[in-house]
Amino acid sequence: MPEPANTALLPAGLHDVLPPDAAHEAAAVERLMAEFAGHGYERVKPPLVEFEESLLAASGAAMTQQTFRLMDPLSQKTMAVRADITPQVARIATSRLTKAPRPLRLCYAGQVLRVKGTQLRHERQFAQAGVELIGALEPEADAEVVLLAARALEVVGVRRPTVDLCVPTMVPLICRALGISDEDTATLRAALDRKDIAAVTAVGGPAAPLLERLIAASGPAERAMRALEALELPDAAEKDRRRLRAVMALLRAAQPDLTVTIDLVEYRGFEYHSGLSFTLFARGVRGELGAGGRYRTGTGGEDAGEPATGFTLFMDTVLRAVPMTPPPRRLFLPHGTPTDVAARLRGEGWVTVAGLAHADDEAAEARRLRCGHRLAGGATHAVS
């Protein structure tokens, strides 16, 4: 459809999604949700708005700066518009579904709203779709969500999605074991996110040689694992290596051709994660298609709440990696076409477009209404 330049009507980062994109997005979301449901994940739908104190509790705190507030005239309390659905699903699991058997598999899809866009994502509203697997600590749980994310992306048409695994807990464990101060650890993490070897060398002290080797080891999964296995790690970091090894083995057994890379030093974006985490990419598409990983449903340390893992797909980016489906076959029905005839044609797969008044030139009218076919004399005819 034509799009005049008159789009200044909407605030920056907010958009009207027009035909055929809106239908394309909805179909992709529902296809993803069907895949999640097939793996036993049951759909929940939290509200767009909650009390601020509940929405920004626990892992929700990461979104404090990105969250719009509203005053609730009924309760006189501050409400917040969700900027992320994951914390809401964790809340549901630990409140209303606290008695449901574990592991609890939940999935969701919905819109989120953010105060500001980022350089990589100008949109302030976009759709999220994802899963949470709650109450399971096994490597099998980590592998299940990674494989499901990759599989779901393939199902909606993403060609060869890439999984970037990381273990955001490993660097802090190494730093603590080697006596690095919290302040230096924070500096190192920022340097590691930038892969800034000079800064790591300068600040790393006794941890520098190991951290440099972790940077060098990052890359394609098999090579990264070989390099990681060759390293001498502090005992405290051993559990992270063991987990990565176990999950990689499960991923390879299940899907040998999945493209997996490993980043052993990445931290950015995983501040609230407590274990194996991952990011999803597609070749040739800018930005993350999704992200996920391990976290705890409560606040206050390693034993808070329940162990959980999951992922969220960002539909704005996912759709850039999904080929457009062919447009529906539109059939023009001349004025007065009986209802049962129209219903039969829809049953045959046609999209019917009814003429609301007599048209002298029905072929021209069909063309004007973007119909590739028209009904005449009881039969369908292509409109040249």
Scan residues 12-51 and list those touching a second copy (CB under 8 A): 12-23, 25-26, 30, 33, 37-40, 42-51
Q: Where are the beta strands (DSSP E) in 90-242?
A: 104-113, 125-134, 161-166, 219-220
SS3 129: strand
Structure tokens at 39: 């793996």
Residues 172-201 that bind a second copy (CB under 8 A): none
Burial of 74 (0-12, 13-18, 19+ CB in 10 A): exposed
* Residues forming beta bridges with residue 165, ordered by sequence position: 262, 278
Q: In this chain, which of 234, 352, 376, 381 binds a second copy, going by CB under 8 A?
A: 352
Q: In this chain, which of 270, 273, 370, 376 binds a second copy, going by CB under 8 A?
A: 370
Does 125 engage in binding with a second copy (CB under 8 A)? yes
- Which residues have CB under 8 Å from 57's CB, separation 6+? 87, 91, 299
Q: Residue 50 or 263: which CB sits closer to a second copy?
A: 50
Report in angstroms how near the CB of residue 360 gets to a second copy at its nearest: 16
End-to-end Cα, the chain, rounded Å = 19
Q: Residue 88 or 218: which CB sits closer to a second copy?
A: 88
Binding-site size for a second copy (CB under 8 A) equals: 96
Report in angstroms how near the CB of residue 336 gets to a second copy at its nearest: 9
Residue keyed to tokens 């991952």: 278
Q: Residue 197 or 351: which CB sits closer to a second copy?
A: 351
Residues 233-262 that bind a second copy (CB under 8 A): 253-255
Residue keyed to tokens 């021209």: 364
Report in angstroms how near the CB of residue 198 gets to a second copy at its nearest: 37
Residue 278 sits at φ, ψ, to 5 deg, of: -160, 160
b (16+ CB within 10 A) / e for 239-261: ebbebbebbbebbbeebeebebb
The separation between CA 47 and the C-alpha centre of its own chain, rounded to angstroms, equals 19
Does 326 engage in binding with a second copy (CB under 8 A)? no
Q: Residue 100 or 236: which CB sits closer to a second copy?
A: 100
Residues 147-176 that bind a second copy (CB under 8 A): 147
Q: Residue 177 or 246: which CB sits closer to a second copy?
A: 246
Dihedral, 289, 293, 296, 300 alpha carbons, nearest 10: -80
Stretch that binds a second copy, among 5-13, 206-214, 221-229, 375-383 (CB under 8 A): 5-13
State how far the Cα of 33 lies from the Cα of 43, in Å rounded to an integer. Answer: 8
Tell me the C-alpha to C-alpha distance, in Å, between residue 339 and each of 59, 328, 351. 54, 20, 14
For residues 234 and 170, is the Cβ–Cβ distance under 8 A? no
Q: Residue 119 or 339: which CB sits closer to a second copy?
A: 339
| Site track 261-290 with a second copy (rule: CB under 8 A), x = hit | ------------------------------
Report in angstroms how near the CB of residue 149 gets to a second copy at its nearest: 14
Half-sphere exposure of 44 (CA within 13 A, CB side): 23
Report in angstroms how near the CB of residue 298 gets to a second copy at its nearest: 15
Q: Residue 67 or 185: which CB sits closer to a second copy?
A: 67
The separation between CA 118 and the C-alpha centre of its own chain, rounded to angstroms, equals 16
Q: In this chain, which of 58, 131, 136, 156 binds a second copy, going by CB under 8 A?
A: 136
Residues 56-115 that bind a second copy (CB under 8 A): 68-70, 72-75, 77, 79, 81, 88, 91-92, 95-101, 103, 105-106, 108-111, 113, 115
